[in-house]
Amino acid sequence: MTDKIKVAVIGAGMMGKNHIKTYQSLPEFELVGVYDIFPDAAQAAAETFHIKAFSTLQEVVENVDAVSVVTTSVTHADVGEFFLSQGIHCLIEKPLATTETGCYRLINAAKKSGATLLVGHIERFNPAVEQLSKILSDSSKIRSLTAQRMSAASSRILDVDVAMDLMIHDIEVVQSLVKSKVTNVEAMSVKTKDMPEGKDYISALVQFENGVTANLTASRITQSRVRTLSVTTDENYISLDFINQSIDVCTQSRSPYTNKDALPQWMNYGLKGCEEHLFIPSAQPLAAEQSHFAACILQKATPRVTGEDALEALRVIWAIESKLGLFESAQSKAA
């Protein structure tokens, strides 16, 4: 391999174009080209970004060191395994695959060839999440978490329910913070005239082995864009906004005065508190994710989101879907 990693993007949709633009901005990579199952889409992207439009996946293998797999979810296992088995490093967009068998195919192919497998759970590269991970490095202080990820309907994702589409981001972040095994999952959904199966608004309660609980809500029918995570700990209450990349920390403590009888009535209070708004330098999560991908390839860094990590998040999503009667239909589509 030369000093620069030769990379291609597999999939020329909206997210694929984001990967292309970001790779072109990073010095670690030489963006070689793009492939899409629809040749016209690949050609249009190639002309826009002045790169090559590959005609086959094998042609991609012969010209690159690494790829971003940004295809439809049901194709991730086949496409990713094709590249990993031939030693091509892969950044695969979430979800890793749509079945447990598909996930293991990818994990095992990477292990066998030694190629890097990084799963694109992009919120792990949000600078606010990175800071929160440092604040909560001692996960024993966490008591409960609440996540909300809501917006109006989008035509971007139509083949999966809102848990697989949106909630999976928060599930993976929460698991990375709590660092404990999931022991129980409960779920409810909102049924509408347009979506009687309840696939567009789902709330879940997740319990962990260490006693921590997480309450998560994801919606595609809410007329405001919300992306928040709050954490109750032994010491404070932490609010994170994914969109603004911000963190607020609220702390309350007992008054230091022990002899309250000696205090004037107006000073006789039990709690005092403060709220801190943390300074977090803003950053582009996709650029951070791709730079980490480069470090995994060139410096043998451990992927921040491994195939095993992504599979654990998917198992929670499948448990939620199963509670709602959505799992069987999702699996039949994947098959």
| CATH number of 145's domain | 3.30.360.10
Q: Judge whether residue 275 has pLDDT over 90.
A: no
Do 118 and 161 have their domain in common? no
Give domain status of residue 15, yes or no.
yes
What pLDDT is attached to residue 329? 55
What pLDDT is attached to residue 9? 98
Yes or no: say if 220 and 166 are a contact pair by the CB < 8 Å rule: yes
Type of residue at 234? D
Summarised one tens digit per residue, pLDDT across range 168-199 is: 999 999 999 999 999 999 999 998 887 788 89
Angle, to 10 degrees, between the axis of helix 127-135 and the axis of helix 168-178? 30
Do 21 and 58 have their domain in common? yes
Do 157 and 269 have their domain in common? yes
Do 237 and 268 have their domain in common? yes
Give domain status of residue 26, yes or no.
yes
**261 pLDDT tier (thresholds 50, 70, 90):** low
pLDDT above 90 as % of the chain:
83
Q: Judge whether residue 258 has pLDDT over 60.
A: no
pLDDT above 70 as % of the chain:
89
Give domain status of residue 70, yes or no.
yes
Q: What's the mean pLDDT when you consider all of the chain?
A: 92
What pLDDT is attached to residue 330? 54
What pLDDT is attached to residue 226? 97
**Over residues 217-240, mean pLDDT:** 96
Q: For 2-127, where are the E strands, in sequence order? A: 5-10, 29-35, 52-53, 66-69, 89-93, 117-120
What pLDDT is attached to residue 120? 98
Q: Judge whether residue 222 has pLDDT over 80.
A: yes
Q: For 138-225, where are the E strands, in sequence order? A: 142-150, 182-189, 201-208, 213-219
What pLDDT is attached to residue 139? 94
Of 63-72, 160-169, 242-251, 258-267, the range with the lowest mean pLDDT is 258-267
> What's the pTM?
0.90
Expressed as residue numbers, the domain containing 185 is 124-284+315-334
Distance CA 187, CA 131 (A): 30
Q: With H, G, I as helix, E, B as strand and everything else as coil, classify residue 46.
A: helix
Yes or no: say if 64 and 34 are a contact pair by the CB < 8 Å rule: no
Give domain status of residue 162, yes or no.
yes
**160 pLDDT tier (thresholds 50, 70, 90):** confident
Do 11 and 52 have their domain in common? yes
**266 pLDDT tier (thresholds 50, 70, 90):** low
Do 107 and 186 have their domain in common? no
Tokens 């990579």 belong to residue: 29
Angle, to 10 degrees, between the axis of helix 76-84 and the axis of helix 100-113? 10
**CATH number of the domain enclosing 58:** 3.40.50.720
What pLDDT is attached to residue 197? 84
The number of folded domains in the chain is 2
Do 330 and 195 have their domain in common? yes
**Over residues 299-321, mean pLDDT:** 97
Give domain status of residue 309, yes or no.
no
**Over residues 40-47, mean pLDDT:** 98
Give domain status of residue 307, yes or no.
no
